[in-house]
Amino acid sequence: MNALEFILAGMLAAATPFLLAALGELVVERAGVLNLGVEGLMAFGAVLAFIVVYHGGGHLLSFVAAGLGSAVLSLVFALVALGFRANQVATGLAIGILGQGLSALFGKTYESLTVKGLPKLALPWLSEIPLAGRLFTQDIVVWLSLAATLAIWVMFAYTKVGLVVRATGENPKAAHAIGYSVTAIRFAAVAFGGTMAGFAGAYAAVVYTPLWADGMIAGRGWIAIALVVFGTWLTGRIFLGACLFGAVSLMGLAAQATGLDVPSQVLASLPYLVTIIVLGIISADRRLLKLNGIASLGEPFER
């Protein structure tokens, strides 16, 4: 397998943790809330999922546990930031650190243990195309995340719920005057974001690299937040961004495999470097950010 084939085959799987977490954060931000705790929510979901699978609970149950666990943790954030109108940045950071702490605590006895991942499913016909066919042999979670991407795009473009969530984020006062409960919508959005972050963490811990190591999320939650910004709050761009990061993180491995003489730390830091560069490029065009930026992002709602 050459480097290109390697990247094509693994890109979508590598992208999935970014994608799931970023889709969740997209919904949260579209409702006007900035939750910076994604990294911790992912770490918490990851450890819950790993424990469930290790003790024989199976993958389905592990995703349920991770989703619920991270949703509960994100509701703590919602309670403080939305209920008591605390500063969202500070609260999000605190919940993130809490999540990482809980993850380290629960994961202590599982350090370096491994579990079994998920089998890959090949799409008939498509997976037989030479080279590009590599893209079409993936595990079930990857296929489901692609479906989730499509669903969220449809939600914002065509559904009542999507319209109301956007109205809440752009102008909570008007949404309130029209008769929607801003606080309830924002709570629901945050819980959804938490669930998705939990799924993302679970995928990283029990499917993508089915091995427990403390700090295994390794900044992917932060990249997911950056993805939402550099996808300029558009579902399609966030998907492309996630694929880019998936590909870049594999490039490091591919380069090592070809025997390129570059320190592995440099290769491992590639995704973060790319984040900074892409954010820089996007921010150079202020129009892109301004056009789609959420008007009330991070501001508490008061009647």
Partner 1 sequence: MTNAVLDISGVSKRFGDNLANDNISLSLGRGEIVALLGENGAGKTTLMSILFGHYVPDSGKVLIDGQELPPGKPRSAIRAGIGMVHQHFSLAANLTVLENVMAGTESLWRLRSDTDAARQKLEDISTRFGLIVDPDARLGDLSVGEQQRVEILKALYNDARILVLDEPTAVLTNLEAERLFRTLKDMAREGLSLIFISHKLDEVMAAADRIIVLRGGRKVAERPAKETNKAELAELMIGRKVARPVREPSTPGEVALKVTGVSVSIDGVERLKSIDLSLRAGEILGIIGVSGNGQATLAHLLSGTVRRDKGDIVLFGEPVGDLSVEGAVQAGIGRIPEDRNNEGAIGEMAIWENAVLERLPRFSRHGLVDRSAGQAFARKIIDAFDVRGGRPATRTRLLSGGNMQKLILGRNLIDRPRILLAAQPARGLDEGAVAAVHERLLQARRDGTAVLLVSEDLEEVMALADRIQAIVNGRLSPAVAADKVNATKLGLMMAGEWNEEHEISHAL
Least distance from partner 1 to the Cβ atom of residue 145, Å = 22
Question: Would you say 26 and 210 are in contact if contact means Cβ atoms under 8 Å apart?
Answer: no
Q: How far is the CB of 6 from partner 1 (least distance, A)?
A: 41
Compute the least distance from the CB of residue 296 to partner 1, in Å: 10
Q: Closest separation between CB of residue 293 and partner 1, Å?
A: 9
Report the nearest approach of partner 1 to the CB of residue 119 (Å).
34
Q: DSSP assignment, residue 258? A: T
**Region for 131 from its dihedrals, namely left if φ exceeds 0, alpha if ψ lies in -120 to 50, beta otherwise:** left
Per-residue tokens: 96: 């993130």
The Cβ of residue 119 has, within 10 Å, a number of other Cβ atoms equal to 7
Between 4 and 295, CB nearer to partner 1? 295
Q: Which is nearer to partner 1, 116 or 286 (CB)?
A: 286
Q: Give, as one character, the DSSP assignment of residue 237.
A: H
Select 157 or 213, whichever has its Cβ closest to partner 1.
157
Degrees to nearest 5, angle at CA 77 with 73 and 83: 130
CA atoms within 13 A on the CB side of 1: 13
Beta-bridged to residue 138, according to DSSP, are 121
Nearer to partner 1, 137 or 183 (CB): 183
Nearer to partner 1 by Cβ, of 111 and 158: the residue is 158
Binding stretches for partner 1 (CB under 8 A): 158-164, 166-167, 170-171, 173-179, 295, 303
Q: Closer CB to partner 1, residue 2 or residue 159? A: 159
Question: What is the closest distance, in whole angstroms, from the C-beta atom of residue 31 to partner 1 in the complex?
Answer: 13
> Position of tokens 């029990």?
206
Residue 193: count of CB within 10 angstroms of its CB: 30
